[in-house]
Amino acid sequence: MTAYTTTRQPLPDREPVIQAGILGAVGTRHMLHGPFGRAEQPDGSLLLTPLSADASFTIPEVRIGIGFHWERIEPQRFHGALRIHPDGLMVNEVALEEYLLSVVSSEMKATAPVEFLKAHAIVSRSWLIAMLEKGRMGNGETSHSAHTRISFDEEQDCREITRWYDREAHTRFDVCTDDHCQRYQGISRAASPAVEQAVRETRGVVLAYDGKVCDARFSKCCGGATEEYSSAWEDADVPYLRSVSDTDVEGYCFCATDDAGLLASILNGYDLDSPGFHRWEESLTQDDAATLIAGKTGIDVGAVVSLRPLSRGKSGRVTRLLVKGTKDSLIIGKELEIRRVLSPSHLKSSAFEVIALGKDSRPAKDGQVPERFIFSGRGWGHGVGMCQIGAAAMAARGAGHKSILNHYFTDAELITLYR
């Protein structure tokens, strides 16, 4: 395993400006509210810069939720500058804290405990600044979304397909305003006072390790222990993304909470009737399993004889899964690929046990083609970094944002980049 290295760069000492591409904008219509300067740029783009702090602009038609069933067109209003490229691409150049306020507001509920909101603001800010540093260094690696490695496993005598996914980087701006990056709607919706307080009181604060801003990650629910970086992404050892047990000294697991009030206060659109996430169960019929595996991997293994975890990360997430079929076998990884292949959308996590059932719902015998596979799982998401439900439960029990971040990001420190 290689050490996780990035070229050392001086840390930013002033608030960065984020370039947000408004990809859903229909045409280039825009309305200015207040005074704006107008300047043609050497690259042919037109830059409209606000001349007063409260100046803003509206894009009357922005398509949101592109590709989702709730796709619709709405007007959106933004602070900051507007750059219109010659081909019509519109980019909002906005101060990082303003951007953060908007994305944390659309992701988090205002009713969540404020120390949890502060911890989240710091995690999101750290991720964002680490992403800017990586992207702006012209590191070509960030432009690919799927990384695939195909090899042959001598022991199992079959092919192994290892795949992991990165956020696909944009080339002409840092982030898009759609869900592909993080939903950003400018100032179209008022930020809640609680989120505003959390962002304001942590202004410029990031997680840092060894003089660099941490590439901080988070997921919904670790399921009992957090996962290491290499189970979800490249084979790198990231010192501040180690597996930690998500429990207090008495063994109480933070994210095992069944406090419906707390869950409803933190999760947007949380459905109280939805099945659990700390512990959950899914099942696939033989036909579904064979069809999904063939469709998603492009390899027809025939009937599925067994699904056997070959290795697991420290949280119990399966990172290599042996799919044994009547015609062919293959090994798949990493965690997201396994979740993707075994479900029409995604399994909640790859921390599962597989139970193969034969006739009469009895455990399938060796060599028998099972009729059904049951996945008995825990956790929701990749499990790396901060566990959102665990962090909110810690805050609800009185923990401050510093001890929450200390718990999930081992050895990282909090530093203030700018005031």
Looking at residue 250, the DSSP 8-state letter turns out to be: T
Residue span binding Zn ion (CB under 5 A) among the ranges 46-54, 92-100, 103-111, 180-188: 180-188
State yes or no: residue 336 binds Zn ion (CB under 5 A). no
User: Site for Zn ion (CB under 5 A): which residue of 77, 85, 159, 180?
Assistant: 180
Member of 387, 405, 412, 417 binding Zn ion (CB under 5 A): 387
Stretch that binds Zn ion, among 134-142, 311-319, 383-391, 405-413 (CB under 5 A): 383-391
183 binds Zn ion (CB under 5 A): no
Interface characters, 198-237, with Zn ion (x: CB under 5 A): ------------------------x---------------
| Contacts of residue 49, Cβ cutoff 8 Å, sequence gap at least 6 | 36, 37, 39, 81
Q: Looking at 28-36, 86-94, 169-177, 336-344, which segment touches Zn ion (CB under 5 A)?
A: 169-177
Annotate each residue in 34-73 with x if it binds Zn ion (CB under 5 A) or - if it does not, as one string: ----------------------------------------
Query: Min. distance of Cβ 313 from Zn ion in angstroms?
Result: 14
User: Which one, of 391, 55, 115, 51, lies nearest residue 226 by Cα?
Assistant: 391
Q: Does 244 bind Zn ion (CB under 5 A)?
A: no
Under rule CB under 5 A, residue 399 binds Zn ion: no
Which residues face 48 on adjacent strands?
38, 82
- Residue 207 burial (CB < 10 Å; 0-12/13-18/19+)? buried
CB atoms within 10 A of CB 39: 10
**Beta carbon nearer to Zn ion, 84 or 221:** 221
User: Which of these ranges, 10-18, 26-34, 172-180, 301-309, lies near Zn ion under the rule CB under 5 A?
Assistant: 172-180
Q: What are the strands of the beta sheet with 81-84, ordered from one edge?
A: 36-40, 46-50, 81-84, 90-95, 17-21, 175-176
Gap between the Cα atoms of 194 and 222, Å rounded: 25
In the complex, the residues that contact Zn ion under the rule CB under 5 A are 176, 180-181, 222, 246, 255, 387, 390
